[in-house]
Amino acid sequence: MPAPRIAMRKIKDVLRLKLDAGLSHEQIAMALKISKGVVAKYVGLATAAGLDWATIQTLDETGLQQKLIGSSHRTRQHVQPNFGRIHQELRRKGMTLMLLWEEYRAEYADSQTYSYSQFCDCYQRFARTLKRSMRQVHRAGEKLFIDFAGPTIPLVGGDRAHIFVAALGASGYTFACATPRETTEDWINGTIRALEFYGGVTQLIVPDNPKALIANPDRYEPRSNDTVLDFARHYGTSVLPARTYSPQDKAKVESAVQVVERWIMARLRHHRFTTVNEVDEEITPLLERLNHKPFQKLPGSRASTFAVLDAPALQPLPVQRYEIAHFKSAKVHIDYHIAVNGHRYSVPHALIGQELEARITACVVEILHRGQRVASHARSDQRGGFTTLAEHMPAAHRAHREWTPQRLIHWGESIGPTTGVTVTRLIEEHKHPEHGYRACLGLLSLAKRYGKLRLEAACVLALQIGTCKYRHVRDILVNNRDQIAHSPATEWISPDHPHVRGPAYYQ
């Protein structure tokens, strides 16, 4: 690289003091405040060019520079490395300039080659000729950059199709698809389709800081929302958003978005689309052409570079595709159920009072305690309904659940026909049969205290006076009314309710 003007004047002073004054290297270095190495370098160049002080004295600075530098270039004909290939090789995981320099030296062992420092300096000059985004070194299979294009594509009817774009860091291999909006589901579905398009998973996924994905867009400790973390966990990757107001962190996708806008969206500007799927169908062939288009300054294309670099380094896709999940915190009620969208789902009764997390997908509701699944239910949209598993109940509740109307009626009939009729009426009086279970159990339990015969007689008397309630039958037994002679129904009085009128009163 040509030396600055002021340096050339000092170089001429170096040669004057050496060739005319005859000073030593050390004396010249002290006089001009430069190193002895610089003195030795330019004295050597002058000697190699066959220059003496008389000749140098007649040359201007430009002529002297041509003589010295031209001589250097003639005496050092280095074999030029293929810096385009070296730039791509650096994207491989674990690759270093030192290793590539050693391979270059070994390949041209019989020729003049660069030293390591010269090799690095020449590569850096080459890299500066590339675009800024291309100068970033991305390891193969390391990063997938995702974003949405700014422009949208209009649909018939007034809606618009949004274009999701993804690009791999090492190869620049690009994916694009159309989505109806830019919600969390659209971001994640677009990323899933991109991973399936590539046939593998990168170590990192780098989005911008959209509110749909990032719960806290902090510059130093950004935090993704729970759905995004669940998605990343499923694919064994991590989501690392770019720093806010730092487009250089995602220059690869910024470039890819620009290319998609120019090479794909611009070609679709005269098309009329009715649905998002129609836009997708038109994008597919254009995307293939884009990825097979040769690079301008590097060998190969996005597709060929992907096949060599990124494809072998990707992690395998999971067996099952990710299903969008939303999360909600809920406290376990005393009935060992949690409420999710108006429906109640059971959990183990030991967790009553605990704060749990519900993972909600389109078909399933999973309930997590400290990250561990404690219950799983088919999702129900019935508001006010219950989904209960027997194993979540306490033992007493489980035993109660085993009762059915038929079993209660059969038990009543085993005591006596009138008792069976009374149980039947108790169940039929309630809108839901289970609401009458406790009264039936209370009625039938009277047989243990008073015996079956007395309970049957009390039920006969209760039906005669137009009642079947547990407390009325109990009062008959407590007052021994079943053991005295039959009396008209109007003479019977309950100690708890002295003015019971009977069902006929309300007709």
Q: Nearest-CA neighbor of 320 among 361, 367, 288? A: 361
124 and 223 together in one domain: no
In a domain, 229, yes or no: yes
240 and 296 together in one domain: yes
Residue 402 burial (C-beta neighbours within 10 Å; 0-12, 13-18, 19+) = exposed
Q: What is the CA radius of gyration of the chain?
A: 44
410 and 492 together in one domain: yes
208 and 251 together in one domain: yes
365 and 466 together in one domain: no
DSSP E strands in 287-423: the ranges are 326-331, 337-340, 343-346, 355-360, 364-369, 372-378, 386-387
Burial 28-40 (b: 16+ CB within 10 A, else e): bbeeeebeeebbe
117 and 154 together in one domain: no
Select from 375, 394, 413 the last residue of a domain. 394
In a domain, 225, yes or no: yes
Alpha-carbon distance of 69 to 91, in angstroms, equals: 35
Count of domains forming the chain:
5
In a domain, 136, yes or no: no
152 and 283 together in one domain: yes
Predicted pLDDT of residue 384: 82
In a domain, 492, yes or no: yes
CATH of the domain at 211: 3.30.420.10
| Residue 112, domain extent | 83-129
Tens digit of each residue's pLDDT, the chain (507 residues): 344 444 667 788 888 888 887 888 888 888 887 888 888 888 888 888 888 888 888 887 777 777 776 644 444 567 888 888 888 787 776 678 888 888 888 888 777 888 888 888 888 888 877 654 444 567 888 889 998 988 899 998 888 999 999 998 888 899 999 999 989 899 999 999 999 999 999 988 888 777 877 766 555 555 677 888 889 889 999 888 876 555 555 566 677 888 888 888 888 888 889 999 999 999 999 999 999 988 877 788 889 989 988 899 999 999 999 988 888 898 988 778 888 888 989 899 888 888 998 898 888 999 998 888 899 899 888 888 888 887 887 776 666 666 677 888 888 888 999 888 888 888 888 655 655 777 888 888 888 889 989 999 999 998 888 888 888 899 989 888 888 755 444 444 444 444 444 444 333
472 and 424 together in one domain: yes
Alpha-carbon distance of 255 to 499, in angstroms, equals: 88
Predicted pLDDT of residue 390: 79
Predicted pLDDT of residue 389: 84
In a domain, 219, yes or no: yes
Predicted pLDDT of residue 217: 59
389 and 411 together in one domain: no
33 and 177 together in one domain: no
In a domain, 121, yes or no: yes
Select from 358, 374, 394 the last residue of a domain. 394
| Residue 363 DSSP symbol | S
168 and 267 together in one domain: yes
Select from 313, 346, 361 the last residue of a domain. 313
Cβ atoms within 10 Å of 342's Cβ, excluding its own: 11
266 and 118 together in one domain: no
